[in-house]
Structure formats: structure tokens, C-alpha cells
């Protein structure tokens, strides 16, 4: 690394802070450790950090509130929540607040290094994330368009079939009228004759 990446570790357990410092300093990171959320916010007012690690259970301001405050102030700064009290509810809330990761203690040197590297890489690829989201959106739109086309296809087929049916049936319909016409005429003739006959005898 040409320029040292700045890492802030927030934990009231001094041993945790020292572990991060020892592991990451050997990898070329510049590590700052603080013991509370209040101290962390004061530190962030003075310096910028590439990654922030925060414990959840601490005196005063807990780690989730710290995460919320940091994301409100520096939304581009990756925040990874570390805890010995990991629950699904905490994970969900941390994610909603904008946390970039959630890991449980105890942490091995390999875990500390890997989660730090992942947070740094994720923070350096916002444009790729946006492009990926756009690709997903385009895929959804195309899928919906195909669904509409498939839904409309039977209507078109039914319309064509109806027109073809009428085309072939029209000669038979005309023939039916031709056959029925003499009978209709005869019926009308008889009806008119009967009415005239009745009218004549009535008048007499």
C-alpha cells in the first residue's frame, strides 16, 4: 500500500483494540482505537477513516447508535459491527442502519484481516454496485415486457381464429338465408291473406 488506510476501532475492551492494532498495523494500516461511541464521534470530527469497526454493547452510546450517527455524518464510510452478543435482531437493525458488515467475537487475525479488506474493497466500488443494480432493474423490466407479450399472444390468436371462422362460415350463412327465404315469403303471404279474410268477414 502506498498510502496507509485509516482504521478506527471502537470497543470498550482494550484487548480487542490491541488485537486490531497488532494485526492491521503489520499489514500496513494506520489503526486508531477508542473506548466509547462519544469518543469515536469526536475523533471522526477531526479525521477521516477508511473503515470503522464498532462493538455493540458499550457503556453510554451503544454500537448501533454509533453506526447510525456515523452513517448520518459520513455515509460513504464503511462501518462493520463486531459483537459478542450477536442476534438476528441486531444483525437486521445494523443492516437497516447502513452497516457494511456484522461479525461475532472471538475474532481471529485472519478474520480481522479479511473483513477489513472486504470493507475497503466494497467502499471502493460504489459505481459497480450502482451498475449492478441498474442491470438487475433492466432485467426485471425486460421480464415484465415478455410476460405482457405472452399474455397478449392468446388474445391475438383468438382474434385471428375468429376472423377465419367467420370467413369460412359466411357462405353457409348466406345459403341458409337463401333456403329460408321462400318459407318466409310463403309465411308472410298466408299471414296477409288470413288478415284480409278476417277483415272482410268482420266488416260484413
Sort 58 into a burial class: Cβ within 10 Å, 0-12 / 13-18 / 19+: buried
Return the pLDDT at 140: 44
CA 137-138-144 angle, to 5 degrees, is: 90
The predicted model scores a pTM of: 0.59
The partner residues of 51 in beta bridges, in order of sequence, read 7
Spans in the chain with pLDDT lower than 50: 1, 127-130, 132-134, 136-137, 140-141, 148, 150, 153, 174-175, 177-178, 180-181, 184, 189-190, 198
- Quote the CA–CA distance of 107 and 17 in Å, as a whole number: 11
Return the pLDDT at 203: 54
Return the pLDDT at 123: 73
Return the pLDDT at 21: 95
- Quote the CA–CA distance of 117 and 52 in Å, as a whole number: 12
Calculate the CA dihedral of residues 110, 126, 40, 25 and round it to 10 degrees.
30
Q: Report the residue count for the chain.
A: 204
Return the pLDDT at 172: 55
Amino acid at each position: 500500500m502506498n498510502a496507509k488506510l485509516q482504521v478506527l476501532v471502537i470497543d470498550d475492551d482494550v484487548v480487542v483494540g490491541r488485537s486490531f492494532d497488532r494485526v492491521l498495523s503489520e499489514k500496513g494500516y494506520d489503526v486508531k482505537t477508542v473506548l466509547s461511541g462519544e469518543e469515536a464521534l469526536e475523533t471522526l470530527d477531526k479525521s477521516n477513516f477508511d473503515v470503522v469497526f464498532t462493538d455493540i454493547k458499550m457503556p453510554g452510546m451503544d454500537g448501533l447508535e454509533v453506526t447510525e450517527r456515523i452513517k448520518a455524518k459520513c455515509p460513504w464510510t464503511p462501518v462493520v459491527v463486531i459483537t459478542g452478543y450477536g442476534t438476528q435482531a441486531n444483525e437486521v437493525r445494523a443492516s437497516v442502519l447502513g452497516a457494511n458488515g456484522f461479525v461475532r467475537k472471538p475474532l481471529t487475525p485472519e478474520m480481522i484481516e479479511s473483513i477489513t479488506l472486504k470493507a475497503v474493497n466494497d467502499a471502493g466500488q460504489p459505481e459497480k454496485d450502482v451498475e449492478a443494480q441498474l442491470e438487475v432493474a433492466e432485467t426485471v423490466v425486460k421480464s415484465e415486457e415478455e410476460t405482457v407479450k405472452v399474455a397478449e399472444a392468446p388474445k391475438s390468436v383468438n382474434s385471428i381464429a375468429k376472423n377465419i371462422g367467420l370467413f369460412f362460415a359466411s357462405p353457409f350463412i348466406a345459403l341458409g338465408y337463401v333456403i329460408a327465404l321462400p318459407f318466409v315469403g310463403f309465411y308472410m303471404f298466408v299471414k296477409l291473406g288470413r288478415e284480409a279474410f278476417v277483415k272482410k268477414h268482420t266488416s260484413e
